[in-house]
Structure 1
């Protein structure tokens, strides 16, 4: 057994002796074990949490989004469960919330909140910026995640955080590929700049030149967040240089933001570039 598994069940079936359990397996959660030497990944921790609940809990929140393939979820992220238990062990968050039958599905045999319910919980239980980033990541892999959210809201109007949920939902955009891209988009919006479009496909004739992180097509201004891969991977660096040359030929202005850039500098840079292309504050997006 690689695990995770419930130790008492393995003992009662005769799969292991108590000595073998203690020698060859490592404790993950109360009565939940994994093979010694195996470093549990996020899926292992999610399964362990569900087993700890006696297979009665429902995986929710960030852990649920990871089950749908959302990125940017750290292995050590607390696992959220909807279940009745007031004293969860370290690494678990348990909420005694109400779930409608149609708000639960199964992935790999584990009960998980549906995409709509997952987005609902992500949006109401976190700060605005984190909520938007988490919903963005979910939408990247499940574009239809928001289709049934209003029905979830209608069923649970009194749950904590529901009143602020529309703000996060209104700002969410499935075109963000990373939390930093979400951060950059929100920076522009909060500064009063036009809301940028995401995943803009730029063609030279019929040839696709580049898919831009975000930008303003009306003004031919692009904004992209350059992470470490743009600097450390030679092939990516060369590809970026060539596509930027093509964008310049097509009269696109590209704002390439790096981690060291101050927010005030970024906003001023974008505002000046948009103004040079004909945008005026107060113009409709």
Structure 2
């Protein structure tokens, strides 16, 4: 059967009996069940929390983001609901915001905050870097425009975290395709050399060479974050070497960023990008 589900409804429909319910399924919230031992995705957590509310609450925050299709949501984090009742339960964060009808939508059959309101909420909470990552994810997942979130910030001037949100909106970029790309962009931005473009398509006489994560096309300087697979998968590594050669033949200078470099030596990323830009003729 589809899951998560309400145990009382499954029993009433005769889909399971009480013995099956208690031996084959885990109760994750009051009356809400999933197959034994299953790990829930953020979207499934959101649906389970909504069932727990007796289908009355609105999904907000990370739960709304998950339903909108945003990626990079930590599975360990709780679901988020907006409802007047504040009866706490494990695994669900309850909020009691006033949500105008214009800030609520139905997505995949569930009541959620609109993409703009979801980004508005995510950008006000957590630290700056995590907030930018989450807003980037919303921009990637939907047709959301930053101007729509800025308009909400203007109409909710007194809301907590709006000052941070304005900073986040200045830093956000729909071109980020991973949290590490966002972090890399922020390292460069904080150093005063924010990339002018993200997801830069490059072509040569043979066709499409590839897409560079971020950089400055004017100076043919690019920055690429390479995930673990770029270092451990032989096929991907071979393709990267070929791609790098084609980019260099076109005059591109590429700064490659690893997890170790980003975490422990971000200053090296800045130094290498600065040196490449100066070598290309940029005045910085």
- Normalised by the length of structure 2, the TM-score is 0.91
Shift of 1:232: 2.1
Alignment partner, residue 114 of structure 2 = 114
Deviation of the 1:224 alpha carbon: 0.5
Aligned partners of 1:113 and 1:129: how far apart in 2?
A: 22
Q: Deviations over 1:152-210 (max 9, x none)?
A: 22442222112221110111101111111001101011011243310011111471111
CA distance in 1, matches of 2:147, 2:205: 35
- Following TM superposition, by how much is the alpha carbon of 1:3 offset from its aligned partner in structure 2, in angstroms? 2.4
Change (3 A) 1:250 1:14: closer
Q: Partners in 2 of 1:180 and 1:35 — Cα distance?
A: 34
Normalising by the residue count of structure 1, what TM-score does the alignment of the two structures yield?
A: 0.91
Do the aligned partners of residues 259 and 40 (structure 1) sit closer, same or farther apart at CA in structure 2, a change above 3 Å counting?
A: closer
Distance (Å, rounded) in 2 between the aligned partners of 1:14 and 1:147: 50
Alignment of 1:175-186 (within 5 A): 175-186=175-186
Residue 270 of structure 1: aligned partner: 273
Residue 223 of structure 2 is matched in structure 1 by 223
Aligned residue pairs total 281
**Do the aligned partners of 1:143 and 1:174 also contact (CA within 8 Å) in 2?**
no
| Structure 2: segments with no counterpart, 5+ residues | none
- Give 5+ residue unaligned stretches, structure 1: none
CA contact (8 A) 1:138 1:145 kept: no
Contact 1:115 1:146 in 2 (8 A): no
User: Cα deviations across residues 54-97 of structure 1 (Å, max 9, x unaligned)?
Assistant: 21111111222222222111322221111123242222111101
Output aligned runs, 1:9-158, within 5 Å: 9-11=9-11, 16-158=16-158
Determine the structure 2 residue equivalent to 1:170. 170
Residue by residue over 1:224-266, the C-alpha shift from the partner in whole angstroms, topping out at 9 and shown as x without a partner, is 1111111122222122111110111111111011122211111
Deviation of 1:29 (Å)? 0.7
TM-align CA RMSD: 1.9
Which residue of structure 2 aligns with residue 258 of structure 1? 258
